[in-house]
Structure 1
Amino acid sequence: MPGSVLAWSSTKASHPTPSAELVINEFGAWVQTTKKHILIAASHLAPWQKLEIFRSHLLPSLSHHLASGRVLKDCLTQLDTECRKFLGLICNLPNHATVPFFYADRRVGGLGTCRLTDDADILTIARAAQLLTCRDPTVRNICREQLHDTIRRGFRNEHPGVLPVGEYLSGSVDGGSTDLGSNLWTLARQAAKQLGVRMDVSGDENIRIVADDVSVSPVKEVHGFRKVARQRYTRDLISDKSHQGVVATGLSLEEKSKDMARLVSCRTPFSFRDWRYLHRARLDILPLRGHSWFCSQEQDTSCRRCGKENETGFHVLNHCEEGLQLTTKRHNTIQDLLESLLVKQGHDVTINNAIPGQRLRPDVEFQLSGSRLMVDVVVCYDQPGSMENAYQRKYDKYSSHGRILPLVVGSLGSWYPRNDEVR
């Protein structure tokens, strides 16, 4: 056992083995477009089922090969590109969909998948840390001694005193440390440097691994750093300077609920027709001619249905007069859900009751602790500024007539945090 571990951990990684290369090629074939009629993309599964298979079965099948460090990064980069093409096909997205969307948290409208180049680094670091903390003292001591030998050769056997094990594995080059040859420890060092990971190996059996102020143990390293990577892509999506990150800023206001994740899971309530437009609408890349990136200067940018405002996602989802019937239906659906919840809680609810001497009609009105409480529903575009303005307009409109709690919902699923006051 110790001999096999030593031989495995010192394997050269400059070229992938034939078996690993074969697995990579087969997986690449699985994620081709439907034009090649390959397996999942050409199957009759629902798109959310294809996503679940991709996330839960295909990606984990590569874990062993990624952890061994035997797959070239160029190969993984190419495979990541093919995966995005596959995901774009499932979600009906064009080629210019922003990359962070595919890896961002589903809470902000992303797909929440793993990038193989990141996973390779995460799994390599995890494998190295787990060997260094192995319960078998023989395996643990052999691995630590091999690591020390690698560091000594990096310093050309001239480094005095205590070896900087933690600094070396964290990618530090202080003191002239260099990588000579290629084994598990040099690969883990390169992966830690790539991910911005710091490793603390001050204890004999305990290792703490830190990235972005998140500290994890070797046992939970994979889960923890996948979450760190997802958070990084989430921030990239939210901070996108183009139009594609606008809706994500609204969706990100709710930090606890898993409702958004369910919308792109196997439990989604969406129909096939809804699915075709969901992700395009959230990235604001629907083919609407009011967008500056879609139209030419000479082209008419007015709405093709009402002919008034610019034809943008903001207008189509919330302000187009031709869609007024659907807008009213959406509003009433939210109102009916709220009413049913209040009735279940034992409240006597009044709907659309006019305020005495006024033309105002709050959507929902009931008594709470002997005082009147009004709740008025408003649906606006998924942008923090739009939601704040919508809340303030409702408050200014009704506040002089009693206690008012506006219920602000984004047209693409955002939940305004002050809605919790209603709860």
Structure 2
Amino acid sequence: MASLEEREVYQHLGTPTGVHVRQTPEDTIVEILRDASQINSSLLAPWQKINVLNTFLISRISFLLRGSAVARVPLNKADNTIRQLVKRWLYLSQRTSTDIIYIFHRQGGANVPQLGDLCDMAVMTHAFRLLTCPDPTVRSIAQEAVRSMVRKRITRAPSEQEIATYLSVSLEAEFGRERGDLSSLWSCACNTSRLLGKRIGCCWKWCEERRELGILVPCLKTPDHTIVTLTARAMLEKTLKDTICCLYAENLKRKPDQGKVFEVSSKWDASNHFLPRGSFTRFADWRFVHRARLHCIPLNGAIRHGNRDKHCRKCGYANKTLPHVLCGCKQHSRAWRHRHNAIPNWLVKAIPPSLGKITLDSAIPGTDSRL
């Protein structure tokens, strides 16, 4: 082992480690961004670039966040770079909503997590696992550290409920006293609880009946809530991730322009089957589909700035939007027919002949309907 002076560091699992040193692995973050730039200039398909980014680069940052006290400024700079690259791979303009980047594949997003969210989840998960650790020595040291911080804040011995209130960053009554707390894992956990509490309503809870500490994670879609306790401690990170991704999805749905199609396309996994691996998708389809879903195709009716003429150049309709081009412009009626006929033609090829006679493009047998 090397003998180190104060503020000298050595790299331990990618983290600068020493006495009175900053643990933010800025060199590692710069290296990850350099790799992201090389992925961008490679000959991989766009969906392959996103997959490589998630598999090899985001996982490296997630691993560093588990063992480091990382500052937010380098993460924010890295987030900006990664966000611009993912938008380029999705062929989206910079005015496009960034929510689509952080949403799961099954809902129609790129499934690239925001680094700030990864940092928040790592801090909350690490603090909770220390306080509920199966090892009694580790658990007692962590609980005593928190208890001493609460005792310093309220100037008396705290109860278990008061510890949960302190971790949830309550500023009411005696918890609002300013006592000059030193920066530590628990102060970071309190700040993270405050941020997540404002965003998703997350907070710490103490159950008196079961005598155990838990974290309440609200469900944004239903009035039900999830309380992660000692027995489900391994599910905390996944629960937080699901809730945060649901928050981004709900934010996008509320946007009257870009969220209109997404509200429908996010309901079924089959609508987004092509996102993870580009299955059955041409490059031309990939360049079109994301802009079309977010209403960012540069048509006359979709341009928001200036006083540009919004009439359709083909048929003279007053508002040339994407629904008009796909389903309303008479000049493209032949394309409508081909698009409609392609679906039953695919079904005819997929049905085995042994199932019986296949009827195509004719009236329904045994009825008077003309359909």
Residue 338 of structure 2 is matched in structure 1 by 329
CA 1:122 to 1:205, structure 2 compared with 1: closer, same or farther past 3 Å?
Answer: farther
Residue 279 of structure 1 is matched in structure 2 by 290
Structure 2: how far apart are the matches of 1:223 and 1:144?
A: 24
**Structure 1 residues 270-279 or 304-313, which shifts more?**
304-313
Shift in Å at residue 338 of structure 1? 4.7
Residue 209 of structure 1 is matched in structure 2 by 215
Shift in Å at residue 100 of structure 1? 1.2
Q: Is the 8 A contact 1:131 1:143 kept in 2?
A: yes
Q: Is the 8 A contact 2:106 2:273 kept in 1?
A: no
Shift in Å at residue 215 of structure 1? 3.2
Deviation by residue 1:77-112 (Cα, 9 ceiling, x = unmatched): 222111110101111111111121211233443222
Unpaired runs of at least 5, structure 1? 1-10, 32-37, 355-364, 367-371, 374-399, 405-423
Structure 2: how far apart are the matches of 1:208 and 1:349?
A: 59
Residue 191 of structure 1 is matched in structure 2 by 192
Deviation by residue 1:264-313 (Cα, 9 ceiling, x = unmatched): 1114221112211221111101111122515x33x432223444453211
**Structure 1 residues 118-127 or 319-328, which shifts more?**
319-328
Map of 1:294-309 to 2, 5 A cutoff? 294=305, 296-297=306-307, 299-309=308-318
Structure 2: how far apart are the matches of 1:289 and 1:332?
A: 29
> What code does the residue aligned with 2:181 have?
L
Deviation by residue 1:356-380 (Cα, 9 ceiling, x = unmatched): xxxxxxxxx36xxxxx68xxxxxxx
Residue 225 of structure 1 is matched in structure 2 by 240
The alignment partner of 1:200 has SS state of: strand
Shift in Å at residue 120 of structure 1? 0.6
Deviation by residue 1:147-203 (Cα, 9 ceiling, x = unmatched): 111211222x23565561211222222333257111111111211221121223447
Residue 300 of structure 2 is matched in structure 1 by 289
Shift in Å at residue 26 of structure 1? 2.1
Residue of 20, 29, 34 corresponding to 1:29: 34
The alignment partner of 1:194 has SS state of: helix
Residue of 171, 187, 193 corresponding to 1:173: 171
Counterpart check, 1:259 vs 2:257: no
Identical-pair percentage: 26
Shift in Å at residue 58 of structure 1? 1.1
Shift in Å at residue 349 of structure 1? 4.7
Deviation by residue 1:383-404 (Cα, 9 ceiling, x = unmatched): xxxxxxxxxxxxxxxxx959x9
CA 1:334 to 1:25, structure 2 compared with 1: closer, same or farther past 3 Å?
Answer: same
Shift in Å at residue 323 of structure 1? 2.6
- What TM-score, normalized by structure 2, do the two folds share? 0.81
**Structure 1 residues 39-48 or 164-173, which shifts more?**
164-173
Structure 2: how far apart are the matches of 1:336 and 1:214?
A: 47
The alignment partner of 1:275 has SS state of: helix
Shift in Å at residue 229 of structure 1? 0.4
The alignment partner of 2:101 has SS state of: helix
The alignment partner of 2:215 has SS state of: strand
The alignment partner of 1:302 has SS state of: coil
Counterpart check, 1:318 vs 2:323: no
Structure 2: how far apart are the matches of 1:147 and 1:160?
A: 10
Residue 60 of structure 1 is matched in structure 2 by 59
Residue of 158, 161, 164 corresponding to 2:162: 164
Residue 74 of structure 1 is matched in structure 2 by 73
The alignment partner of 2:286 has SS state of: helix
- What TM-score, normalized by structure 1, do the two folds share? 0.71
Structure 1: how far apart are the matches of 2:352 and 2:262?
A: 33
**Structure 1 residues 303-312 or 322-331, which shifts more?**
303-312
Residue 263 of structure 2 is matched in structure 1 by 249
Q: Is the 8 A contact 2:151 2:158 kept in 1?
A: no
Shift in Å at residue 263 of structure 1? 1.6
Structure 2: how far apart are the matches of 1:48 and 1:58?
A: 15
Q: Is the 8 A contact 1:289 1:311 kept in 2?
A: yes
The aligned length equals 338
CA 1:74 to 1:345, structure 2 compared with 1: closer, same or farther past 3 Å?
Answer: farther
Counterpart check, 1:238 vs 2:253: yes
Q: Is the 8 A contact 1:152 1:158 kept in 2?
A: yes
Structure 1: how far apart are the matches of 2:217 and 2:34?
A: 34
Structure 2: how far apart are the matches of 1:66 and 1:160?
A: 30
Residue 408 of structure 1 is matched in structure 2 by none
RMSD across aligned positions (CA): 3.0
Unpaired runs of at least 5, structure 2? 1-16, 219-224
Shift in Å at residue 247 of structure 1? 0.9
Structure 1: how far apart are the matches of 2:194 and 2:279?
A: 39
> What code does the residue aligned with 1:101 have?
I
Map of 1:53-132 to 2, 5 A cutoff? 53-68=52-67, 70-132=69-131
